[in-house]
Amino acid sequence: MQQAAETAAVILAAGRGTRAGGDVPKQWQPLSGRPVLARALAAVRDHPGIGRILLVLHPDEMARAAPLLGGRVAAVAGGATRAASVRAALEALAAEPPARVLIHDGARPLLPPAVIDRVIAALAHAPAAAPALAVTDALWRGIDGRVAGTLAREGLYRAQTPQGFRFAPILAAHRAHAGAADDDVAVARAAGLDVAIVAGDETNLKITHPEDFARAAQLLAGAEGRAMDIRCGNGVDVHRFAPGEAVWLCGVRIPFPRGLEGHSDADVGMHALTDAIYGALAEGDIGRHFPPSDPQWKGAASSVFLAHAAGRARARGFAITSADVTLLCERPKIAPHAEAMRAELARILGIAADRVSVKATTSERLGFTGREEGIAALATATLVAG
């Protein structure tokens, strides 16, 4: 193993990560009780072959990162692009240049030590090295949601990080590079540097979409020998009809000869789902968090309540893996609006629409829904944490 002082590491965490959903960038969202970035940092910091570590952060998040700094770990403000962020880190290291530098994504929290070993070892005979996994699936080219052709997969790899470099050549490459780049291998190759490929690892996943949190938690649970924490919550809500010209159901406004009566917008479907999430967390119901006695919530959009419940789940290290809402009514007809409802609920929850179900049933003209006196909703939410 090379001396740690000769190898520095840069961890990139200045991006916004909007595809992952949530109220904060993905690197600050919890993964089994710890921020994603904290886990990525730990994987690098605990490796005996690495000395100095620089976190590249958004300027607005320096204070948030304070608990992670100290000792060998310092921070630098990132730029508007990935390449600019890396350049800022390399320039900061240049005052006391290391022999080598590893550049890692802060959204890869499960980096195995063996991958770091392989990258550092490859730098003994190559100016650059990066982990990758050979593509084994068939590759298609798609246009408008249809298969338009196939691509040969021979010689293709899925790139991972950390990407390692001898320090002087990669600093010169970044100084000479104009514009953005997909990664640092692209910058190195533009400068004429040979890049060795070393074996990556399937567990070294990059968190990009909301569902990746659940997958990472599962991998982490297996690695640490812990059982997954799976929660299921149910919610029920009822609202009577009142004078009006439309109803709000699961975030969609549906023209109708009547409205629904309630302190907020009376979105019965969204209320039931919100309570299901609170129930899975054992945190009571909407009334506990948003008391109807408080005038500020009069007429409020129910999306506020659902977003709060989803945020509470993320704050406690849970990913919402599925949501199911059933609306009970004779009218209005739900089927023409179900897809729009799924899309809106998924947007608020920050998960993929294929994890959200919205369906309806009648009560065969029985009971208050059968008499068209109101609408009821039942919902179930499943939460997973490692």
Tell me the pLDDT tens digit for each residue of 176-234.
Answer: 998 888 899 999 999 999 999 999 999 999 998 888 888 888 888 776 655 668 899 99
Residue 215 lies inside a defined structural domain of this protein:
no
DSSP lists the bridge partners of residue 53 as 9, 73
Same domain for 140 and 274: no
Based on the fold, state whether residues 201 and 304 are members of the same structural domain: no
pLDDT tens digits along 364-386? 999 999 999 999 999 999 998 74
Q: Which helix (H) or strand (E) holds 185?
A: helix 184-190
359 part of a folded domain: yes
Asked if 290 and 234 sit in the same domain, the reply is yes
Confidence at residue 116, expressed as pLDDT on a 0 to 100 scale: 97
Kindly state whether residues 252 and 337 are assigned to the same domain.
yes
Tens-digit pLDDT profile for residues 103-158: 999 999 999 999 999 999 999 999 999 999 999 999 999 999 999 999 999 999 99
Residues 201 and 263 in one domain: no
Distance between CA atoms of residues 282 and 222, nearest Å: 25
Residues 182 and 43 in one domain: yes
As a whole number of angstroms, the distance between CA 150 and CA 156 comes to: 14
**pLDDT at residue 215, rounded to an integer:** 86
- Domain containing 241: what range? 229-385
Using pLDDT thresholds of 50, 70 and 90, give the confidence band for residue 340: very high
Quote the tokens at residue 70: 């100290």
**238 and 94 together in one domain:** no
Share of the chain above pLDDT 70, in %: 95
Residue 222 placed within a domain: no
- Given a cut of 60, is residue 302 above it in pLDDT? yes
Mean pLDDT of the chain: 91
Confidence of residue 1 (pLDDT cuts 50, 70, 90): very low
Specify if 220 maps to a domain: no
The answer to whether residue 240 sits within a structural domain is: yes
Q: Please check whether residue 216 lies inside any domain of the structure.
A: no
Query: How far apart, in whole angstroms, are the C-alpha atoms of residue 198 and residue 371?
Result: 68
Domain assignment present for 12: yes
Q: Greater confidence, 90 or 293?
A: 90
* 187 and 299 part of one domain: no
Q: What is the CATH number of the domain that holds 244?
A: 3.30.1330.50
Provide the domain count of the chain. Answer: 2
Assess whether 80 and 187 both reside in one domain. Answer: yes
3-class state of residue 298 by DSSP: coil
Residues 301 and 170 in one domain: no
Taking the CA atoms of residue 30, residue 35, residue 36 and residue 37 in that order, the dihedral angle to the nearest 10 degrees is 160
